[in-house]
Every structure is written in C-alpha cells, then in structure tokens.
Amino acid sequence: MKKVLNILIGPKGSGKTYIGSRIEQLTGIKFLRVEPLWLQLAEGENGWQRVENEIDELFVQHNKVIIESLGAGAGFNRMYAFLKDKYEVKLIKVETDLVECLRRVRSRDNADHISLSDEKVQEYNRISASVNHPWDAVIDNNGPATDEEILRVIAYVECLVCRKHRGEVDVPGGVIY
C-alpha cells in the first residue's frame, strides 16, 4: 500500500497550521510545517525541492504525513505531480473567509511565518482561494473547526484511501464541512 500524504490547502491565516497540529495531536499523523522550511532556505536553494525532500525523509519512518500549502503556482503544481507519483496524495481544502484570514495573520506570532505586508497577504490569499484542485475534502474553518469536525474529515479521507486500495476503482472525492 502506498504511503498517504494529506495536503492542507488554503490562504494564509485560514488555519492550516492549527488544523495540521491538531491532526498530529489527535491521530499521530506526522505534520510537517512547511513555512519554517522556507524561512531556513540557503540562498539559491529550491524551496519546493526542500519540502519534497523533507516529505521523503518523513516517509522513511511514517506511513501518513500531512503538510500545509497555499496550493498555488507552478512550483506547487510541479511538486504535487512528483509527489503523486510516489505517494497517495489527498487534497484537503481549508476554507475561511479572507477578511478573517487577514485578521488572523495580523494577530498571530510571526516567528515561524514568512512576514508579508497586508497587501501581499491579500494578494496571495486571493490567488490561493481561487485555485481549483480535485478536492478530496473541505474543512470549513470559519468557526474555527472543532476537533470532531477535523477528525471526521480525516476519517473520510482515510476511507477514500481504503476503498481505493480494495479495488473500488471509481472512488469519487467528496466534500465534508
């Protein structure tokens, strides 16, 4: 059975880091915070390659990993294509109102986040909110989402993986709020 990579995709401030951390605490699925990797890049180092290498290293010891991303741009799309060849990749959209995302970005500790102006956050968030991937599930994090809602989504995604591995060929992705 292929190892499973869940990718939380959403705007900055949508709650990807919070949700990924909760999933790790509640389920033991290893969560890789991606933004700190980008902050540690050496000059000229390819950030997407660094993220992919970190994922590969985690899969040496773990069967399931979850990461966070804006999910936009050519670099992400190339990395996603490479990862799909190696792992069972599930895309989980994290939906949050963009005004709320900006409020959260302004109020959080930015020690482990890339520092951006409000204008840049809004620009990136518009791009991230407009991407259209083949979502396996959606988490509505306006509330924010409760542990039960988060666990329900993870259970649903794991059910999709199990059904696919049992040979149920046409397993559609779904949306859970």
Mean pLDDT of the region 48-59: 96
Q: Residue 34, exposed/middle/buried by CB under 10 A (0-12, 13-18, 19+)?
A: buried
Q: Comparing 19 with 168, which gets the higher pLDDT?
A: 19
State yes or no: cis peptide before 144, omega within 30 of 0.
yes
pLDDT per position as a tens digit, 65-122: 999 999 999 999 999 999 999 999 999 999 999 999 999 999 988 777 888 899 999 9
**What pLDDT score was predicted for residue 66?**
98
User: Is the per-residue pLDDT at 168 higher than 80?
Assistant: no
**What pLDDT score was predicted for residue 177?**
43
User: Is the per-residue pLDDT at 173 higher than 60?
Assistant: no
**What pLDDT score was predicted for residue 171?**
45
Residue 158 banded pLDDT, cuts 50, 70, 90: confident
**112: how many CB neighbours lie within 10 A of its CB?**
11
Domains of the chain: 4-165 (3.40.50.300)
37 contacts 47 by C-beta, under 8 angstroms: yes
**What pLDDT score was predicted for residue 148?**
94
